[in-house]
Structure 1
Amino acid sequence: MIALPLTEDAVTDYGPGWKRNEAKKLLDFHARALNAKGGFYKLAADGSPLADDPRGQGNTRELHETTRMIHSYAQGAQLNHPAAHQIVDHGMKFLFDGHLDPVNGGFWWSVDDAGPIDTKKQAYGHAFVLLAAASAGSVGHPDAARLRETVMTVLRSRFWENDPGAVSDTFDEDWTNPPAYRGGNANMHLTEALIAAHRTWSDPADLDMARAIARFMIDQHARAEGWVVPEHFTPDWKVDRDFEGDPMFRPPGTTPGHAIEWARLVLELRETGGMDPQDDWMVEAASALFSRAMRDAWLPEGGFAYTLDWNGNIDNRRRLWWPVAEAVATSHALHRATGDDVWLGNIDELWTHLDAHHIDHEHGGWYAEIDASGRPVETLFPGKPDIYHAMTALSAGLE
């Protein structure tokens, strides 16, 4: 573990009371996203709905946004937020009525008031459907088990590949045109969802799948790369170092924020699995993943570089909210797993950075990106697109 250079003076007590209050404000802000026609609006910086109707048929709703709202407001229900159950129910209804393909099965990536826009079937999106089902189930939603069965049928029959024990990526609407690409991001989020599913329904098969993914992605590949997480793979599951990617979900090179996220997930997998001896490698892996990402990617001005090249050099200095939020949650996970207070040594610096640059104290919500001067900018994401990573950070340490 390394000590982060202070970029601001830490003067606030970022304890449980502060986090609960910030979570309430965040949930209040994003509750405005509820769309009476189904699903949720994207929100502008001031909390108003963003204009987004490319076909003139109402706002586009993307699968990961619908599902993350369900997950986040299930967390909100645990914090007794008054709108939580209504929003969970609203999102669940739209998954079945808006995103679910009744002919071919699986869930469309994006839809508007007239129906599907992007009909691709993505493993990434389906992982979040499972997370939504598990989270809704944890707060007693009556359709959670049905959603779980619907999405798990597709995950096992369409996406899962026994060798190596991971999911492929994207198919056409009718499950033709098998994907040439294999990616780490979908597998990371499926691991998260499988852990949540096991916590809700206690099916050991969920842990078996999660362990298979973690062993392949982290114990095999990240370990071999000196605890750098490969993101992109060829069809035969060889690391693709030359993948050019796209800036949002598949950036080229390596993404240190994902190493931080993986560190948290393998610890949660170990904990959920009852500290099984077969998972003993996970504490070593989490410690090494987190430490290397902090060392390689934390910038002198604060925040993490978005991507690195394969030599560990900074490739893209874009500063986003989510790696810092994940670093908060992973710090708590490492402390819980090891009992060593050293892992909490940077908590105040991480929160101070988020508080100073990403939390909007005037309008509410979190800014997604800041420029070199620390001011909010919108280059990759419009408005305030996320509650999911912010709630992950704010929920950490409240266990």
Structure 2
Amino acid sequence: MREIKNKDTIKLEKEKLYSSLESELFDILDYWEENSPDVEFGGFLGRRNINNKVIEKSPKGAVLNSRILWTFSAAFRYTRADKHFDLAKRAFTYIKDYFIDTLNGGVYWTVDYKGIPLDKKKQTYAQAFAIYGLSEYYGISKNQEALNLAISIFASVERHCFDKEKLGYLEAFDQTWQEISDLRLSEKDANEKKTMNTHLHILEAYASLYKYWPDKELKNQLERLLAVFNDFIINKESNHLNLFMNENWEFTQHLISYGHDIEAAWLLKEASEVLGDDNWINLFKQKAVEIAKMTLEGLDEDGALIYEKDLDKKHVNREKHWWVQAEAMVGFYNVYQITGDEIYLNAVEKLWEFIDEKILDRKNGEWFWGIDGFGNLMDEDKLGLWKCPYHNTRACLEVLNRINESKKLH
């Protein structure tokens, strides 16, 4: 039988969590301020390994740079620190000068260490993060050029990536937006025309842009995205997300990605709230609870959320990645707010205890990539095309802001 905590106990636990996460937020930002700028070639470095060593002449990715832009823009709202605004401006300037394809629209996938376009493909996922970062930067700077760029990338995505017949967004194109054979974000992904992951980040990008540019077409597409998740991506039987689908929304792999499940749970609700439609809000409050209930099965005894389960191969990937723990904190706190059920607040506290004990790099700063299935550190980058400050910064900011909101309500 679960222990029921009194209000004073819960208040103290929230205050302790708040204090810990606020301290960690500044530690993360300090790491990226001190370790990510490329003082020789401009912008930000392409890669540091697990030991924090710079890997010289590494490519620079649109996703990493857009996530840095989003991170320091969002952080500035909380910290009001000039240095965080300046880093956001640095990221904006670099993206504007080096990642934007001024001829064909959209952003390149990578540039080399000098900023020369390297992989010129148009991955829809990268376009989403560019919109996300640019719109958040506009929110703090009111720089019209940033908003105009976000709108222009939105227009490119709608012109080239949107499936007008079957709805949703296709995965990838060449520099001139022609079809390509390899659509994958990474080698571990299935080569399918539509993925949950890309749709989730288009959703968050469009929701962010809509806050500053309440355009009618953008609103329509946001509503269509919510419908796509409800109709095609959230599995009707399991409440997990279907990950890889063809253009007709048919899927063949039965994979569970616990981190994406719980991340979607709160992002879908947030997007519905941006639209301000009670029907969507009520639906995705309900979906958030249903998805979170299923995600609880992925929590290990140490409080961490495991990575993945392959139902076809009957295999469980017990790795515990940094981003999964970060998104789980937000997703479970979100459902705690909806339901008041302490099981979700307890989950957040245990996740933070795991992160604090196993994921934080006490020597060099930031978070390690994760822990493998045997409890060992994974030998993955500290900073790279995929290792970024966005998940963990956002987790800190989301929980801090949600605790602050609850204080105001009481």
**TM-score higher than 0.5:** yes
**Of 22, 31, 36, which aligns to 1:33?**
36
Q: How many angstroms does 1:183 deviate by?
A: 1.1
**Where in structure 2 are the equivalents of 1:241-260 lying within 5 Å?**
241=253, 253-260=255-262
Q: Helix, strand or coil: the match of 1:166?
A: coil
Residue 185 of structure 1 aligns to which amino acid in structure 2? N
State whether residues 257 and 326 of structure 1, in contact with CA within 8 Å, keep that contact through their aligned partners in structure 2.
yes
State whether residues 188 and 262 of structure 1, in contact with CA within 8 Å, keep that contact through their aligned partners in structure 2.
yes
- Specify the alignment match of 2:107 in structure 1: 107
- Specify the alignment match of 1:326 in structure 2: 327
- Specify the alignment match of 2:95 in structure 1: 95
Say yes or no: does 1:196 pair with 2:208. Answer: yes
Say yes or no: does 1:377 pair with 2:378. Answer: yes
- Specify the alignment match of 2:135 in structure 1: 134
TM-score, with normalisation over the residues of structure 2? 0.84
State whether residues 265 and 291 of structure 2, in contact with CA within 8 Å, keep that contact through their aligned partners in structure 1.
yes
**Of 191, 208, 219, which aligns to 2:220?**
208
Inter-partner Cα distance in structure 1 for 2:233 and 2:49: 39
Q: How many angstroms does 1:201 deviate by?
A: 2.8
Inter-partner Cα distance in structure 2 for 1:373 and 1:312: 20
Instruction: Indicate the RMSD between aligned Cα atoms, in angstroms.
Output: 2.5
State whether residues 39 and 61 of structure 1, in contact with CA within 8 Å, keep that contact through their aligned partners in structure 2.
no
- Specify the alignment match of 2:150 in structure 1: 148
Q: How many angstroms does 1:375 deviate by?
A: 3.7
State whether residues 233 and 240 of structure 1, in contact with CA within 8 Å, keep that contact through their aligned partners in structure 2.
yes
- Specify the alignment match of 1:73 in structure 2: 72
State whether residues 228 and 259 of structure 1, in contact with CA within 8 Å, keep that contact through their aligned partners in structure 2.
yes
Q: How many angstroms does 1:359 deviate by?
A: 1.2
- Specify the alignment match of 1:304 in structure 2: 305
Q: Helix, strand or coil: the match of 2:239?
A: coil
Q: How many angstroms does 1:83 deviate by?
A: 1.9
Which is richer in helix?
2
Inter-partner Cα distance in structure 1 for 2:158 and 2:263: 24
Say yes or no: does 1:226 pair with 2:238. Answer: yes
Residue 326 of structure 1 aligns to which amino acid in structure 2? E
Q: Helix, strand or coil: the match of 2:400?
A: coil
Inter-partner Cα distance in structure 1 for 2:335 and 2:14: 23
State whether residues 219 and 285 of structure 1, in contact with CA within 8 Å, keep that contact through their aligned partners in structure 2.
no
- Give identity over the alignment, percent: 20
Structure 2: unaligned runs, 5 residues or longer: 4-12, 184-191, 402-410
Inter-partner Cα distance in structure 2 for 1:12 and 1:356: 19
Structure 1: unaligned runs, 5 residues or longer: 4-10, 54-58, 243-252
Q: Helix, strand or coil: the match of 1:254?
A: strand
Q: How many angstroms does 1:13 deviate by?
A: 6.2
Inter-partner Cα distance in structure 1 for 2:56 and 2:163: 36
State whether residues 265 and 287 of structure 2, in contact with CA within 8 Å, keep that contact through their aligned partners in structure 1.
yes
Can you list the C-alpha shifts for 1:93-142, whole angstroms capped at 9, x where unaligned?
12121111222222110111161221110000000011011110111251
Q: How many angstroms does 1:159 deviate by?
A: 0.8
Inter-partner Cα distance in structure 1 for 2:61 and 2:314: 33
Can you list the C-alpha shifts for 1:42-96, whole angstroms capped at 9, x where unaligned?
3334544x2143xxxxx31011100000000012211223421111111111212
Residue 296 of structure 2 aligns to which amino acid in structure 1? M
- Specify the alignment match of 1:238 in structure 2: 250
Q: Report the count of equivalent residues.
A: 373
**Of 250, 262, 265, which aligns to 2:264?**
262
Change (3 A) 1:332 1:114: closer
TM-score, with normalisation over the residues of structure 1? 0.86
Change (3 A) 1:195 1:341: farther
